[in-house]
Amino acid sequence: MGPGSTRSPSQSVHPQGLQEATGPTLAPEARYGLAGDVVRALEPHTEADPAGLLCNFLAGFGNLVGPGPHYLLGAEPHPPRLNVLVVGATARSRKGTSWSAIAQVLEQADPGWAERRIKSGLASGEALVQAVRDETRNRAGELVDAGEPDKRLLVLEPEFVRVLAVAGRDGSTLSSHLREAWDKHGRLENLTKSDQVVVRRSHISILGQITREELLRRLTDTEAANGFANRFLFVSVRRARLLPEPEPLDHAALDALAERVQGAAEQARKIGAMHASDDAREYWAALYPEIEGETGLGGLAAAVTARAAAQVRRLSVVYALLDGSAVIDLPHLQAGYAVWRYSEASALEIFGDALGDEVADQLLADLRAAGEQGRTLDQQRRLFHGHVSSERLTAARARLERAGLARTVREKTKGGPRRVTYATARSGISMP
């Protein structure tokens, strides 16, 4: 897949007679190299979506490697640090299975990392900093706290809705710390009177799982606007096949995969600054205007995909490191771009025209249900049973109109003029 390819999702038809609704399609380029081999080996033994398997593996391997290798995009270093949010249309989409299948390979490749540096339960930003804290010395130079020498941390959150709830609390530092952990060298700080902790080089990755309904209910425009959400790759998943009694991957095949992953990780840790090949640079020059240009997305979908260039580069870094290469070559960049396109299509499928404004989104849903009848201003007020002020409702309606999702017209009736609001399509007005 390259510049100029279509952004629209296509139908996903899975083996063994299981056909799912319309959704994103993972391009063949994404299955490049060792990552593709891992997915192909595990696919027949799990009901998990291949896209979920792949993205969990890429994020897990990137964390296992650590913060050493990186690619400079301008002045910004991009290490193999990825956050992935696996989103299922329903509870039966096998979100968790996509990690458990991958975990058996990564755990065997690096048992120490798997035992000590995979944790769950993000209770606060302060707890996150504590998990990767630097050593602390007093003014006399005496060691007070040895800190955590291993700055790798893979946070596994099977109930990511809880993380969104914690991040949304007044005074919570979790959202800001997660943003800081993704950026640059992962510098974090807790600078309170009772808890002054500094982390100079963390390497934190988040693997979350959530249903689409929970995500739409909890992710607000505030979280999208502050950059929390666009530091994640959103991955829409479905159950890939029906396996009443899935057979595990045989020991020999598992050992062979784990050995290859271990070897790639050991080689990757010897790498520092990375650079791109001439072919990759030429491809990037053609690709960049597309991924940083107008996407046609709006609302939350546009907000969560606003960090496209950085995400593609980080994905290409991981693919290169899986090859044990300090050079990002054309196949690595193409593979990273293919994963990004899947994530972008996932965002469109998940969020659609959602704005992240509870009142505006509820009003839009009601306007669409009304169809050609539209809703008068009185009907709109009754929709919220008096719990939303006139000013708040007016602001929500204006937001829909600015986004091209609704229009309000003045109509003549026997009893006098009235104002009616109709839902519209993003590509043009579909209702009177």
Tokens encoding 165: 């709830």
Strands (E), 321-376: 327-328, 375-376
CB 311 within 8 A of CB 292: no
Report which of 389, 313, 401, 309 is spatially closest to residue 355, judged by C-alpha positions: 401
Residue 206 shares a structural domain with residue 331: yes
Angle, CA 98 vertex, CA 253 and CA 121 arms, to 5°: 120
Query: Using CA atoms, how far apart are residues 237 and 40, in angstroms rounded to an integer?
Result: 17
For residue 80, being part of any structural domain is answered with yes
Residue 281 shares a structural domain with residue 411: no
389 DSSP 8-state letter? -
Listed in sequence order, the residues at least 6 apart from 426 whose beta carbon sits closer than 8 Å to its beta carbon are 298, 353, 403, 404, 405
For residue 156, being part of any structural domain is answered with yes
Domain of 394, in residue numbers: 358-423
Residue 395 shares a structural domain with residue 289: no
Query: Using CA atoms, how far apart are residues 395 and 397, in angstroms rounded to an integer?
Result: 5
CATH number of the domain to which 389 belongs: 1.10.10.10
Residue 150 shares a structural domain with residue 236: yes
Among candidate residues 301, 325, 351, the one where a domain is terminated? 351
Residue 309 shares a structural domain with residue 392: no
Strand 406-411 and strand 375-376: pairing?
unpaired
Instruction: Report the domain count for the chain.
Output: 2
Number of Cβ within 10 Å of residue 311's Cβ equals 25
Query: Using CA atoms, how far apart are residues 344 and 331, in angstroms rounded to an integer?
Result: 20
User: Which three-class secondary structure state does DSSP give residue 345?
Assistant: helix
CB 239 within 8 A of CB 95: no
For residue 4, being part of any structural domain is answered with no
Residue 300 shares a structural domain with residue 402: no
Residue 106 shares a structural domain with residue 247: yes
CA end-to-end span of the chain:
40
Tokens encoding 44: 């027949």
CB 105 within 8 A of CB 114: no
For residue 54, being part of any structural domain is answered with yes
Show pLDDT as tens, one digit a residue, over the chain (432 residues).
445 443 443 334 344 444 445 679 999 999 999 999 999 999 999 999 999 999 999 999 999 999 999 998 888 899 999 999 999 976 565 667 889 999 999 999 999 999 999 999 888 888 898 899 888 888 888 888 888 999 999 999 999 999 998 888 888 889 999 999 998 777 887 755 455 777 888 999 999 999 998 998 888 767 877 889 999 999 999 988 888 888 888 999 999 999 999 999 999 999 999 999 999 999 999 999 988 876 666 788 888 999 999 999 999 999 999 999 999 999 999 999 999 999 999 998 898 877 777 788 888 888 988 899 999 999 999 999 888 898 989 988 987 887 778 899 988 887 778 899 998 865 333 332
User: What pTM value is reported for the model?
Assistant: 0.83
Residue 325 shares a structural domain with residue 362: no
Query: Using CA atoms, how far apart are residues 165 and 142, in angstroms rounded to an integer?
Result: 39
CA dihedral 86, 87, 93, 95 (to 10 degrees): 30
Among candidate residues 323, 351, 379, the one where a domain is terminated? 351
For residue 429, being part of any structural domain is answered with no
Report which of 234, 229, 319 is spatially closest to residue 276, judged by C-alpha positions: 319
**pLDDT value of residue 191:** 57
Number of Cβ within 10 Å of residue 393's Cβ equals 18
Number of Cβ within 10 Å of residue 67's Cβ equals 20
CATH number of the domain to which 42 belongs: 3.40.50.300
For residue 2, being part of any structural domain is answered with no
Query: Using CA atoms, how far apart are residues 57 and 101, in angstroms rounded to an integer?
Result: 9
**pLDDT value of residue 97:** 82
Query: Using CA atoms, how far apart are residues 91 and 287, in angstroms rounded to an integer?
Result: 36
CB 210 within 8 A of CB 52: no
CB 296 within 8 A of CB 352: no
Residue 259 shares a structural domain with residue 368: no
For residue 307, being part of any structural domain is answered with yes
Distance of CA 19 to the CA centre of its chain: 25
**pLDDT value of residue 226:** 83
Among candidate residues 331, 351, 371, the one where a domain is terminated? 351
Residue 50 shares a structural domain with residue 183: yes
For residue 42, being part of any structural domain is answered with yes
Residue 323 shares a structural domain with residue 344: yes
Residue 389 shares a structural domain with residue 365: yes
